[in-house]
Structure 1
Amino acid sequence: MTEEQAKELLQKYLDQQASPQEQKKVEEWYATLQAKDVVLSADRKAAIGAQMFANLQIAMHGKPERGKVFKLQSFIRIAAAVFFIITIGISVWKLNTNVVSENQVTVVTGSTQKKRITLSDGSVVLLGPSAKLCYPKAFASNSRHIALKEGEVFFDIAHQEKRPFTVHTSAGVDIKVLGTSFKVKSYQDNKQLEVVVVTGKVAVSNQKGNLATLVKDEFLTYDKNDGRAAIRKIKASAFIKFAFDGANLDQVISKLQYVYSIKILLNDTALGKLKTTASFSSKQSPEEILDIICSLHHLRFNASKNHKTFNIYR
């Protein structure tokens, strides 16, 4: 049952037009909600209290229907229903949203303000002016979900292969990544949503399915009105830095493959245990980085004709 259907049923309950089965359903729901430990802020509790009081005042001072006296039972019933209307909205909101939880954090920037946020997984988010972002204090063990409500935001996502990262937008478009950096621009008063990939690869989708898979330096525009997406190549102006402090070569290769959407092969699996300490920028080409890494370990590499596959060997 949707929140709107729940409200309609509760209105019938208040108007004493609900069937015995419907009355029982509402009372069971209310009893269940009473048993739950719903955590609310002081401001939210005050708002709920004020709304309950206002509705009860209207109910108590309204004209009695057909001479009926306003009894204590009706008062309790209305109080329960009014509180339930407010509480069920909170409960439905919690259950139907992957990002929202009791531990949710909402960050809003002013018209001239920028903010930098480090998420619990180490991912870095840069919010532009007039942006609104919602995220949990701690991500789930098997997934990472956040919601971009408004604005322009740059994401530098920590690579975690077993915990994909998804950005949900108010335009109904989702951006799913494993480990990369990209920018999303989505304002409610603008009919277009934009996604720019700086490094790595992202999958962009809406309710109908996948719109596109973008790689480094690709730019997608999505028309919110007709649901169409267009892709073009650009020269990204943003770069990220990534460092390795004693990481083994297998970990380094995994990171490079996601940053540049390339394939790197080792002709000897034992090479994957070699330790690497170095810092790089996505401004550098894969060849330049591999040349440095191979020099550190006295290795060599070659590239395929399309420069998408690299082999490292002694």
Structure 2
Amino acid sequence: MRKEELTFLYKKFLSPETSDRDRELILTILQDCDEQDLPNLEEVLKGENKNIVLNDHKSDEIFASITGEKLYPAVRPIWKSKVFLRAAAALIITGFSILFYLNNRGIINSDHNKPESNFENTTKFVKQIKLNDGSTISLKQGAKLLVLSDFVQDTIRRVQLIGEAFFEISKNPKKAFVVENSGAFDVRVLGTAFNLINTPYKNILVLNHGKVQVKSGLKQVIILPGQKAAFDKSKQSFEVSPTDTIESSNWINNLLAFDREPIQKIFSDLNSLYPEQRLRLNEKFEAEIFTGYLPSNDLDKSLEILNRAFNTTIIYKHQ
């Protein structure tokens, strides 16, 4: 059998997609091959994109589990033995297959602190993310979500939020969902829906349904549906109050809610969303106020609604 074919068998043996039956057949072939036909281990692993380090303790543990002996006994001059080489080849294959299994299961992790996934909304629309536990996260414009743990292997589902997002968490009593290092406080839930704002100047949670725990240092509070929680840094305490949950999350449907808002402020918001349009405001209406909803992703519709409300053109595109 050619060395290229043996190298292929090595790689197939190491593949997690290879069945146990195929591994037995491959191992039988490799053990029966001649010494000069055995490929070099470095050649076998060349091109494998696995950055794994196996320390001496783990190597000894794998060796002992297979042979019943320690990896580093007294030196014996039998390394040139054909039988020994065959056994060594089988041991290398088995050892690396165990190593790949441990790595794929998360027991050996070359970079434990590296976030599993990063999501960022750089568009003017709401970006919806589906996590592998079934949870759905709606990211507002400019928001960023970092997934910090492996939802399958780890006992806690950990994420970090920068900006604003609406969370619909898949219920799992065995694995809490934690939004951590996201401003003034952390959020811990099992399954619920809530809106969370984390900016340098604002940290607010609004709970739609379910129950959540917010925590900052030793301070912690349970929040119920229809409540808003904010952390007062000056007082180092939580402020909990009733709130309109629909209004807080209208942005999910690409709506901006305004309650007696000055037209000047609305104009500034629209101008920041669509700077390339160079919007103009009729100065006569700067002091007027507006109550209602505007679509954040449709400038023409927003201008139509505003102009119709005042029965004249108050904001228009620069010609």
Class of the TM-score when normalised by the shorter of the 2 chains = 0.3 to 0.5
Higher percent of residues as strand: 1
The structure with the larger Rg is 2
Alignment TM-score, normalising by the size of structure 1: 0.41
